[in-house]
Amino acid sequence: MGMTKKYWKGLEELKETPAFIKSKDQEFPNQQAIEEFLGDDSLNESSTTRRDFLKFLGFSVAAATIASCEAPVTKAVPYVVKPENVTPGMPTWYASTYYDGCSYTSIKVKTREGRPIFISGNKDFGFTNGGVNPQIIASVLGLYDSERLAEPTIDGTVKSWSSVDSAVSSAIKSAKKVVLLSNTIISPSLNRAIAEMELSLNAQSPAKFEHIQYDAVSYAAMREANLKNWGAAIIPSYDFSRAKTIVSIDADFLATWLLPTEFAGQYGQTRNPDNKWMSKHFHFESVMSVSGSNADGRGMIKPSEQASVLAYLIKGMGGSTSVSSNLNPGAEIIAARALKALKLSKKESLVVCGANNVGLQLLTNKLNNILRAYGTTIDANNSIQLYKSEDGKVQKFVSSVIAGKGPDVLLVLGANPVYSLPNGAEFGKALKKVKTRVSFASHMDETASLCNYTCSDHHALEAWNDYTAKPSEYAIAQPTIRPLHNTASALESILVWSGKATRGGKDSAVAYDYIKNTFQGLFPLGDFAFTTHNSCADLSVTPAALTFQDAAISSLPQAGDLEVVFYQKTAIGTGLNAGNPWLQEMPDPMTKVTWDNYITMNPLDMEKGGFVTTYDQEHGLNLATVTVNGTSLTLPVYPLPGQTLNTVGVALGYGRGANGEKIGKAAYQTKEYGGYELSENGNSKPIGANAFPCVAIENGTYQYYGSGKLSKVDGTYIIAATQIHHTVMGRHSIVRETTLDIFSNKDKEAYNPSFTLQRLNKEGHHEDAPLAEFDLWDAHPVEKIGHRWGMTIDLSSCIGCGSCLIACQSENNVPVVGKDEVRRGREMHWLRIDRYFASDEEATVGLRKDKETFSYDKAELAAENPKVVHMPMMCHHCNHAPCETVCPVLATTHSNEGLNQMTYNRCIGTRYCANNCPYKVRRFNWFNYPSYKKFTEVNPAQDDLGRMVLNPDVTVRSRGVMEKCSFCVQRIQSTKLVAKKELRPIIDGEFTTACSDSCPTNAIIVGDWNDVNSKIYSSSNEKRSYQALEEVGIKPNMWYKVKVRNEEIALLDDLQVVKKKAHHGEKKAHH
């Protein structure tokens, strides 16, 4: 039935039309065969083929995608002709020499693709053994200062060198008197050029030319005292490495006094308790200095008591002097101990005095002579050529200028008298009376801005130079980059103006040829190329037979109700580098304050005077006005323990650019959201206040002490410090300290006890077991497999100078964040130096006097004259790192070489790792430091020129990621690559971190811990080695070494030896 039914889809089907029958089997009507379709030639005529269509499609999609992304503009220009010695990606090192009028040392300069990016000490050559200080390391940033003078100027407008040259030359020619006011010149070539100029000018008319050397901080009294005592106005060489007893009277020889680059290294050699002997260091001072904080005995004295200390020691050693030896009781105890030590060490002693006072220097010489230190620790034959400032000559010149009787032409080289003279302001006003004023300054500074010609000198890294800091050494400084700006070497300018040379332009060889010439004159047989390569050569010294003549003592510092000390800070010094943001942000080694100047006062005095003694990010310090010699400074009062009562200290070198001079973007106070704070006169507000006007002139020398008055001023001032808690709260597992006696005679358990924890044994009793047996985690496979990088830091040798901190900043592109961010506790330093004062509750830093009566409240307050420990602190690269377990995205992980790695790209910024880090060494990028407006003034990475200092091997971190010490992993990688290419294992000592590299006392040792013959391996296994917070169980790859002080403390004997024994005995009896 159903079969008969017919279903149809349309009438066509029903009717079975031919067209339908034809198309019935075709699914698609009018279908063409593929071959037929593709073979259609007309399709080829169309402009778009299928392939083209796909290409267009692909292109449009790609173009749309790319257009929607923000393409960063990268400016990379390849070398057309590859320069010699430049391989992209490979550093080129230049041996050179650093001298800025204050610091001197042999350096190595690392350049990448032609840019100098890092300065480290040259440990192979030079008497400083590559000792560096923060200012030297930071000087590389000065090269890229965008406010450096780029062109010569006449009356503030840019002119060509030829017009400046003709104007200055004719002014010199027609002048009656020409004065060259310079800092101490230790360059034989420059001195030769000046002498030649003098000769030719004096030939025109006698005494037409005068060269006056002037240093911002004068050492003239030393030279004068030596002239009186020894018949020669010299500063002898000091050898701290041979001194078994060091007595320093207010000479901060480790940081600012004379030649710290040399002294710190020498001192460090004598501070290792593992050696045969260890020096005893006594320090008498008013403001606690870096050196004072490292002393074995520190006496708090007023400046007026300095003579008494010397007299006490002279009399004690059997000498005679009319000077009173009355001392305050505290200082007398230390002086007595110093005397005892001096009597034992006799000629292997060294007494130094930092005062620019002839009387005190005469007393010091006398004491050294009684001790017979000349010939052992003091070498008068190889005298230090630095600091030849002649205070008398300077004053005569200054008063002649003020009186309008000055020269017609004044050339100012390397000096800034308008800023640093006590009567600088007056001098500045009178300067107009000098017709032609020429400055060689690199910036429009206080003096240069008053000159009508600026002939900017090259930056030290752009110029050829030669230096003789001591007669025994001739050192070359070579350029490491073609001059960035249209500047000219001062040597060349002087030669040009005296008609000895013609201007050479940017690639001038004038200075080079002249220096080569000088060298060949000095060393007829020397190889200049070789010397350049190594940067120094020896000059023979003829010994002079000097004999001691006693001289009358006069004019010692006078006592006053309030004695004021003007001192230098490690980072800022005389203010030369006030525009350097790295140095401004470097925490002061003692106060940990950044970006500021202040009055230091003992907290006990402050409480009496009603000053607040605590501060934090929201609570400022009280202000006070200190008046000395008629000049008043209003500054915050900082509580510095160890400051002698009734004395205050103020650092020099601040208040630069008070009249809006352009001395560097970072030299001024900035506002909370960027931009400068303005002072009443509408200029950018300088940082701190200039203390130079307070300096008095007495008997022809500048006096950095004075009596003054202090009055509290209304209001508070917020200070930015990186550490606001100053004691270690009796936490013995952080800092450990002992005396030499205990260290040498007792076993490790006395001073460096190992941790034990209690556990249940099989019988169910408690027993002590070593820490290593308690472990939650599986060990990382880093022991004895491949490399395992480790570090030891010797707290005995670490002096707290801060070189490592700046080296780290320079190596690792650490951003500068400015005062407001430091105040908020957000400084970015990967490496910090913790400074702990002992409290009255502690026998030494970290060791509780009495566990039963220990009071946390009292432990928060530093003692009146506390012991100090400096403790460099950075990532410990824990093998059981607490930061690694908590990161949700594995942005911080452990490498198979024992490193705790930070993957910036992966970091989402939860900050959990930083919270869980017991050392608090992780740093978070709170803002986009390379671009946020708040940091425009301070962060060099926001400046086209400043950016050139960045190390291309290290990522510049973006906002929102965590960062921290990487153990200089880029250096590890390059060391490994070099070794791999040479098919050899890494040699111990081949890899160094920036911090260990820059340590002047070699306190930091790094290396491969898995290499049992390495220095780090043996160092970490020494009796003194311990791990901070070991009991937390994080297994760091870093060890500290117990600080050993060479002194006798009965209390320490009592605690570390007697009590421990009793405790031990008790335990045994119990078992």
The footprint of another protein (CB under 8 A) covers 616-618, 723-729, 731, 734, 821, 824-827, 832, 834-836, 856, 871, 873, 882, 885-890, 906-912, 914-916, 918-920, 922-928, 932, 959-962, 1029, 1032, 1034
Helix (H/G/I), strand (E/B), else coil: 622: strand
Question: CB of 102 within 8 A of CB of 652?
Answer: no
- In the bound state with another protein, the residue whose beta carbon lies nearer, of 11 and 776, is 776
- Least distance (Å) between residue 794 CB and another protein: 19
Q: How far is the CB of 850 from another protein (least distance, A)?
A: 15
CA–CA separation, 1036 vs 898, rounded Å?
9
Smallest gap, in angstroms, from Cβ of residue 929 to another protein? Answer: 9
Nearer to another protein, 685 or 922 (CB): 922
Shortest Cβ 885–another protein spacing (Å): 5
Q: Which tokens in the block code for residue 199?
A: 């000769």
d(CA 350, CA 840): 31
Half-sphere exposure of 968 (CA within 13 A, CB side): 25
Phi and psi, residue 395, nearest 5°: -65, -40
**Rounded Cα gap, residues 295 and 869, in angstroms:** 10
Q: Which CB, 518 or 879, lies closer to another protein?
A: 879
Cβ at position 925, least distance to another protein in Å: 7
Closest contact distance (angstroms) between CB of 861 and another protein is 12
Task: Tell me how far apart the alpha carbons of residues 1057 and 712 are, in angstroms, rounded to a whole number.
Answer: 48
CB of 875 to another protein, least distance (A): 13
Shortest CB 798 distance to another protein, Å:
14
For another protein, give the closer residue by CB, 650 or 881: 881
Who contacts 3 (Cβ-Cβ below 8 Å, separation ≥6)?
none
Please give the structure tokens belonging to residue 398: 């200054």
Smallest gap from residue 269 Cβ to another protein (A): 28
Distance from C-alpha of 893 to C-alpha of 895, rounded to nearest angstrom: 7
Which of 475, 555, 357 minimizes the C-alpha distance to 97?
A: 475
Rounded to the nearest whole angstrom, what is the least distance from the CB of residue 598 to another protein in the complex?
A: 20
Minimal distance in Å, beta carbon 1044 to another protein?
21
> Closest separation between CB of residue 1068 and another protein, Å?
21
From the list 277, 452, 244, 226, the residue with the least C-alpha distance to 351 is: 244
Q: Would you say 538 or 672 has its CB closer to another protein?
A: 672
CB of 436 to another protein, least distance (A): 51
- Please, what is the minimum distance in Å from the beta carbon of residue 988 to another protein? 31
Comparison of 324 and 614: residue with beta carbon closer to another protein: 614
For the packed helices 188-204 and 490-497, what is the interaxial angle rounded to 10 degrees? 20
Rounded Cα–Cα distance for residues 373 and 384 (Å): 17
Cβ–Cβ < 8 Å for 617, 717: no
Task: Give the shortest CB-713-to-another protein separation in angstroms.
Answer: 25
Task: For the CB of residue 892, give the shortest distance to another protein in the complex, in Å.
Answer: 9
Residue 692, φ and ψ in degrees, nearest 5: -60, -40
Nearer to another protein, 88 or 770 (CB): 770
Q: What is the dihedral of CA 697, 703, 704, 707, to 10 degrees?
A: -80
User: Closer CB to another protein, residue 906 or residue 1064?
Assistant: 906
Kindly give the pairing relationship between strand 465-467 and strand 297-300: unpaired
Cβ(566)–Cβ(691) under 8 Å? yes
Cβ-based nearer residue to another protein, 648 or 862: 862
The continuous run of DSSP H or E covering 203 comes out as: helix 188-204
For another protein, which is the closer residue by CB, 709 or 906?
906
Q: Are 96 and 480 in contact (CB under 8 A)?
A: yes
* Edge-to-edge strands, sheet with 91-99: 91-99, 104-112, 115-121
Quote the least distance from Cβ 918 to another protein, whole Å: 4
Which residue lies nearer to another protein by CB, 981 or 1063? 1063
The answer to whether 1049 and 844 are in contact (CB under 8 A) is yes
User: Is 1039 within 8 Å of 1045 (Cβ atoms)?
Assistant: no
Specify the residue, 188 or 641, whose C-beta has the smaller distance to another protein: 641
Label residue 375 exposed, middle or buried (CB < 10 Å: 0-12, 13-18, 19+): exposed
Strands across the sheet with 536-538, in order? 465-467, 473-477, 536-538
Contact 824, 936 (CB under 8 A): no
Residue 282 or 929 with smaller CB distance to another protein: 929
- Strands 409-413, 178-182: pairing is parallel
Three-class SS state of 235: strand
Q: Is 644 within 8 Å of 283 (Cβ atoms)?
A: no
What is the rounded distance in angstroms from the CA atom of residue 493 to the CA atom of residue 497? Answer: 6
For residue 974, CA distances in Å to 377, 969, 980 come to 42, 9, 10
Structure-block tokens of residue 422: 């006590």
Closer residue to another protein (CB): 524 or 888? 888
DSSP string, 283-342: EEESS--HHHHH-SEEEE--GGGHHHHHHHHHHHTT---SS-----HHHHHHHHHHHHHH
State how far the alpha carbon of 5 is from the alpha carbons of 1, 14, 20, 562, 618, in Å. 7, 12, 20, 128, 99
Task: Give me the least distance between CB of 816 and another protein, in Å please.
Answer: 15
Task: Using the minimum distance from each CB to another protein, give the nearer residue, 412 or 887.
Answer: 887
Q: Which residue has the tokens 């610091």?
A: 103
Please identify, using beta-carbon distances, which residue of 299 and 587 lies nearer to another protein.
Answer: 587
Please say which residue, 124 or 672, places its beta carbon nearer to another protein: 672
Q: Which is nearer to another protein, 455 or 917 (CB)?
A: 917
